[in-house]
């Protein structure tokens, strides 16, 4: 003899539970949209500071509409950092370069540059910090450049 249940007898198929579940899920979705909109609204993000004394070599005389990636003081000369999905290098004093931090080979986030070289920790592809070009490794190409400039002591997306 087989044991069968009728759909109305199965507790997870009770039609009275569906409206409550739908209300909960729609409430969660609405809350997520509200949070996302609040984060994107004016005043919800990082503010740009006033211009510092003297202009930067990257055209830092006027504010940009891009996001602040990092303070220039936090990017070492001859090295760099990874911030906001971008690797930011300062090959020489006052010169900033930025590239997508995802290695073109398999999308692994690269390490900050050291001694002029950016290395992907997954398969050891190496890239130049001055132009993002491929030096060696399995990557099919160099890193994708991200336009940046300096304004008010910050590196921002251009």
Say which CATH number the domain at 91 has: 2.102.10.10
The pairing of beta strand 86-92 with beta strand 79-83: antiparallel
Query: Is 79:97 a contact under the CB 8 Å cutoff?
Result: no
B/e letters for 12-45, b = 16+ CB within 10 Å, e = fewer, are eeeeeeeeeeeeeeeeeeeeeeeeeeeeeeeeee
Taking only Cα atoms into account, the Rg of the chain, rounded to an integer number of angstroms, comes to: 25
User: How confident is the prediction for the chain on average, in pLDDT?
Assistant: 74
Cβ count near 114 (within 10 Å)? 13
- The reply to whether 116 falls in a domain is yes
Count of domains for the chain: 1
69-93 pLDDT, tens digit per residue, is: 999 999 999 999 999 999 999 999 9
Residue 103 has pLDDT above 50, yes or no: yes
pTM for the model: 0.60
How many distinct helices (H) and strands (E) make up the chain? 1, 9
Domain hosting residue 104, numbered range: 68-157
């Amino acid at each position: 003899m087989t044991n069968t249940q009728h759909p109305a007898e199965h507790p997870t198929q009770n039609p009275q539970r569906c409206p409550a579940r739908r209300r909960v899920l729609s409430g969660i979705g609405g809350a997520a949209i509200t949070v996302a909109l609040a984060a994107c609204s004016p005043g919800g993000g990082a503010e740009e500071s006033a211009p510092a004394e003297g202009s930067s070599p990257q055209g830092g005389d006027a504010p940009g509409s891009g996001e602040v990636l990092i303070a220039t003081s936090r990017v070492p000369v001859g090295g760099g950092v990874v911030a906001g999905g971008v690797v930011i290098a300062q090959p020489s004093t006052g010169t900033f370069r930025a590239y997508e931090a995802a290695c073109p080979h398999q999308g692994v986030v690269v390490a900050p540059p050291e001694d002029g070289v950016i290395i992907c920790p997954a398969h050891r592809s190496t890239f130049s910090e001055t132009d993002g070009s491929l030096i060696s490794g399995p990557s099919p190409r160099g890193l994708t450049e991200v336009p940046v400039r300096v304004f008010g002591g910050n590196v921002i997306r251009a």
